[in-house]
Structure formats: C-alpha cells, structure tokens
Amino acid sequence: MADGFDSSRAVSLDKTGKKDSDMESKSYPTQPDNPYSQYSSTAHHQPDYSQFDLVRATQYGVFDRCHELVDKEGVDVNTLDKENVSAIHWAAINNRIRIAEYFVSKGAAVDQKGGILNATPLHWAVRQGHLEMIVFLMKHGADPASLDIEGCSCLHVAVQHSQMGAVAYLISKGMDVDQLDRNGMSPLMWAAYRCFGLELTRMLLTMNASVPLADKFHKNTALHWAVMSNNHNVIRALLKAGASMDALNAEGQSPYDLAKQKKSKWILFQMDLLSKDKGQDKPVFLQTLTRDKAVQRYIQIGLPFFVLFSVGAILEYSSSWVMSLPLITAVGIISYYALQWFTLNYSHGSATVFGWTLATKAYLYYNILTVYLHYILSKVVLSRASFFVNTVGLYYCFYKSWKTDPGYLHATTAEQRKTIIELVEKNSFDLTKFCSTCLLQKPIRSKHCAVCDRCVAKFDHHCPWVEKLCGCWKPSVFLWLPVFLFGMILWYIYGGTVYYVMSCGPYPDGVWNVIVQSTHCAPWVTWGYINALFHVMWVGALFFCQCYQIFWLAMTTNERLNMSRYSHFSHNSGVQMSPFGRGLLGNIADFTNMSLCGLVRPLRVDWHRQYDCELTGTEKTV
C-alpha cells in the first residue's frame, strides 16, 4: 500500500520489525501522484476533451464526452484499459458521482476487479476516503467484503489509510469489526501498526474490537504490532482496554520483550506505569489491596484527613519543635508512600484532591463546633444566621454538583451506528464535530472529558474539588458553591480572630509578636487558620474569574482557554468574541434562567441538540 507497508509486507516482518528487502510496495493509484500520472487532471495546459478516450474523460470528469462515447460511439462501460482497470474504477477514485451514476445506468459492474491489486471500485473509493462515492456504490450493490489480491476487504483498506469516516460507515453498515484479512490481520491490528493517530484505534475499541485477538501467522496481538512499529500514541489506549503485556507470539516474545529489544524507552515507560498500577512493584502483602479500586479510592480520600488532623494534633500536643518536626516528617513520609502505593499512575484523575475538600471542611467545622460556638454564636444573632445560611447553601450546592448528571451525552450502540450512517449518507460527516470515542456528533460547546471519558454538553471544566464535571445542567450550582465556600471561610477567619482576641490576648506590639503568641496559645486553631487563609485566596479568585467569564464574556472555562481551537469564535479588533453573548443583562438572565424584571428574558437552549451558533432556543415567559 502507499504511505506505508502493505499487508504482504506486514506479515513478512521478522521479530525485530525489519521488512524483507525483496518485498515491493504496491498501491491503488491516486491523483495526481500515481502510476497513471499521464491521466492527471492537474495538467497546466487545457486539453482537447474531444480526443479523450473513456478513461481520460472519466478522470477529468467530462460527463458530455463520456455520454458521447457510450451513447453515440458505442463504447462498452465495462471495457478494461491496458492496466486492467474499468472506467468506473476511475470514476470511484476521482469521486465522479454523476459519471458513476451514468455508468451504472448503462450496466457498469460495480464489483469489477482490476488494477495491480485486482481491487474493486469500492476499494479505490475507500482508499481515497470518498464517502459520497462509497455510499453510492454500496447502494448499488457493491460488496465491501470483497477481497483484493492481498486478501484485504474494504474495511482493512480503510483502516490502513486512516479513513475514519469510511471505517465508521462500513462497520455501522454491518461489517465485522474483527474481520480478518487473508493474513489473519484484524482492523485493530492494522490500526495499531499503521495509524499513528489515536482516534481510529480509539474508535475501533469503542466499537468492541477484540484486543487479545492474534493474527494467523505471527500470533501477534494489536499491542505486538503497535510496539513493532513504535506506535507510541496507541499504546496507552490498548493497555487501558486490557491488552496483555505478557501475551506471547509465535516467536515466544511478549510486547514487553519486543519493546526492550527495540529499546523503546517511552513504550517501556508506559508499560511500567501499568505494571505499577497492578501492584507488581509493590510490597507483596499490599498487592491485593493496591489492585482493589475501592481500597485505592478510600485511601486517597482518607489520606488528607490523616494529614490535616495529624499535623494539627502534633502541633497542639508536642512540647517543642524538636519533637514536632520529626513527627511531621513521619506523616509526610507515610503520605508519600501511601500515594505511591494506592494512586493509579495510569489514571487521569485522583480522589486525593476531592479528599482535601472533604478534609478541610471537616477540620474547619470541627473547630467551629468545638471552639468558636462559645465565643461567637451565643452572643451575636447575625453570626448565627450567616453561619446557618452558609452551611445549608454550601452543602446543598456541594451535594448537587457532586451527584447531578452534568449533561452527559448518551447514545446506545444502535443510535451511534444510526447517527454515523445518517451523517455519511447526508454527506455531513465531519471529524472535527464527531467524537471518535463516544461515536456521536458533538453539539456545539460540547467536549469529551479526558477524566470521565465521556462527552458532555456545554462543557465548562472538570472540577477535581468535587470530582465532577461542570456542564450544561444547572451551572449556577457551580457558581454558588464558591460563593458559599468563600463566605464560610471568611466566617471561620472572623471566628478565629475573635477567639484569639478573647482567649490569647492581650497581645504585645508588633505583627510578628502577635503571630508567635497566637501560635503558642492555640496551635490546633492556628493550623486551621492557615488553611483558611490559603483557601480564601483561590476561592475568591475563582469566583470573580467565573463571573467575568459567564456574565461578561459569555464563555465557558474551556472556551476561554482553548478559543483559538474553535472556529465559531470570531475576531473583532483583535479580540475574540463569543457568538453566544447577549449582553451583560442577557447573559445574567440566561445563566440564572430568570427574567430581569421584564427587561430581559432568559433564552432556553437545549445544548444537547444545538449543533451551530444560530441559537434555536425559546424565550422563557414571565
């Protein structure tokens, strides 16, 4: 095949991955760089169309000349040229739909084989990725399972040349995702060996391609083939899908052996990470626990509780820094090894950050309930009300943001394949608007979350503090959460200040003397006070940043960070403008889903089904 090894070359690879020197690359002809370049339609001079034979007229797309030759001069549309190629082959590879329709109406054989590889017109169309031609030929009876001289079906050719649209369409129309060619190679093996982009491999895996399947001659799995071709991009996806690093081929070599033999450091690094996740380099007595995902999660969430409360206790009960420093160091060492043993290296996310959220809240509330109540709540009614409102609001928003579906895009296997067929047959299959993992057309403003491994409508960001996505469902919850959290932290700082004044005063002059006396007076409270001061800064910054993005820019966090990637953001005087903005008042109304005293009414948009910038929502009535 062009642009890489063909199937006969692939199965002739020895265990080192080197090809036999006597194998010759074959290709389907292409335009203009092809063995038939004398027919290229990119000539610089204007040719005399009246002198064209049927082949050249087809290549140039001169319909009138084709009609004249067949209808008036009696040329047979199934006549083969000197290269054993029919006219409909040339129509297929040049995507001449009108001419192909005419040839079929005149009795052209859609499954006629020809050319160097004895392939069908459908093979030629698939090789070039002409989806419109593929649909046309298949509607007129072309057989995608027909094999060329190398034993490859149209599905194998599509994979070999990274034609994702063709692959998706052929499988959706019923071709077996694990169909083997004459050499026993599956589409996934070809993708691992030939396709250095991740999308095609990821799509085949979503379509349930068999990962442990081995080829007929070499007994190589897809992971073997990926290692042999140094295809670093797909290694991670195959390993996550369950590919075995220990599977042996006909030579008795595993993928890991091949990686070491080829000295592929990056591939070995990826495999070593997965080995660590399986506990292979961890203490024997811990290997069972470290492989248990539930245990890993509990440890990751519980570790921040251990650190926060242990450090607080050490500061409170140690008589001097001579005792405190070794104990705090021990806590750090224990935490480090716990993270090493119980955190997945191969995972995008970790529950540790979520654990810090819970642990910080627990520590602060413990101090409020056991220390501050006596000094504040019993004397000031307003402080009681603010404490109650902030507490209820904080935990309500936290629970809703944690447990509510953020707006995931759902589709069954049947719906996925129906969508692919409809998009291809309507000639609207666009890879930039199609998710190769979820197999669905992506609505505008949606994105595939790498942590959740799912697409979400109106994607904003994945928040590690609540272990949840912020999407189109009730984004106001994610805005109110930092509001109440900010208020709660300020309340804690206020309470701590009152406590210091009433319990640790009077203070000497000088800021440093105040800090030292407060620390000596109440180390446990001071540890919480330090944490509160740290959190109040980033929570406040987050809140004001979100308000600016939502109400002024009318952008999500993802759009603001990656707006150069999205064509629907227009440039105006050097500033990128959002097409979804309706002015400050309109943006506030849309976000809150409330009418602003009749001045502006909110626009309801179903972001699960909105595919362009022309908003088709309805205004909410008062």
Find the farthest-apart pair of alpha carbons in the chain and give their distance in angstroms, rounded: 113
Which residues, at least 6 apart from 26, have a Cβ–Cβ distance to it below 8 Å?
Answer: 1, 6, 116, 117, 150
How confident is the model at residue 512, as a pLDDT? 86
Q: What's phi and psi for 121, nearest 5 deg?
A: -55, -30
Q: What are the pLDDT digits (tens) for 371-382?
A: 887 777 655 666
Which residues, at least 6 apart from 385, have a Cβ–Cβ distance to it below 8 Å?
Answer: none
Query: H helices within 343-380, ranges in order?
Result: 352-367
Tokens standing for 488? 């709660």
Q: What is the DSSP letter of 212?
A: S
How confident is the model at residue 287, as a pLDDT? 65
CA distance 458 to 475: 10
**435 labelled catalytic:** no
CA distance 466 to 398: 7
Dihedral sign computed on CA atoms, order 516, 518, 521, 526: negative
Tokens standing for 420? 């692919």
Q: What are the pLDDT digits (tens) for 382-398?
A: 667 788 888 899 999 88
pLDDT at 315 over 60: yes
Which residues, at least 6 apart from 99, have a Cβ–Cβ distance to it below 8 Å?
Answer: 58, 61, 63, 66, 91
The identity of residue 492, as a single letter, is Y
How confident is the model at residue 330, as a pLDDT? 94
Strands 575-577 and 570-572: antiparallel
Mean pLDDT calculated for residue range 118-129: 95
Q: Using a pLDDT cut of 90, give the percent of the chain over it.
A: 44
Which residues, at least 6 apart from 122, have a Cβ–Cβ distance to it below 8 Å?
Answer: 92, 110, 111, 134, 137, 138, 142, 143, 144, 146, 154
How many alpha carbons fall within 13 Å on the CB side of residue 38?
3
Query: 17 falls in which pLDDT band (50, 70, 90)?
Result: very low
Between 592 and 235, the more confident residue is: 235
Q: What are the pLDDT digits (tens) for 599-617?
A: 888 888 888 888 888 876 5
Among 5-19, 403-417, 492-506, the least confident range: 5-19
pLDDT at 312 over 90: yes
| Residue among 66, 195, 463, 472 flagged as catalytic | 463
Q: Specify the 3-state DSSP secondary structure of 533.
A: helix
CA distance 297 to 619: 44
Mean pLDDT calculated for residue range 548-562: 90
CA distance 199 to 448: 12
Mean pLDDT calculated for residue range 497-521: 85
Distance linking the first and last C-alpha atoms of the chain? 64
Q: What is the CA radius of gyration of the chain?
A: 33
CA distance 19 to 21: 6
How confident is the model at residue 163, as a pLDDT? 95
Tokens standing for 372? 């501050």
Q: What's phi and psi for 260, nearest 5 deg?
A: -65, -40
Q: Specify the 3-state DSSP secondary structure of 468.
A: strand
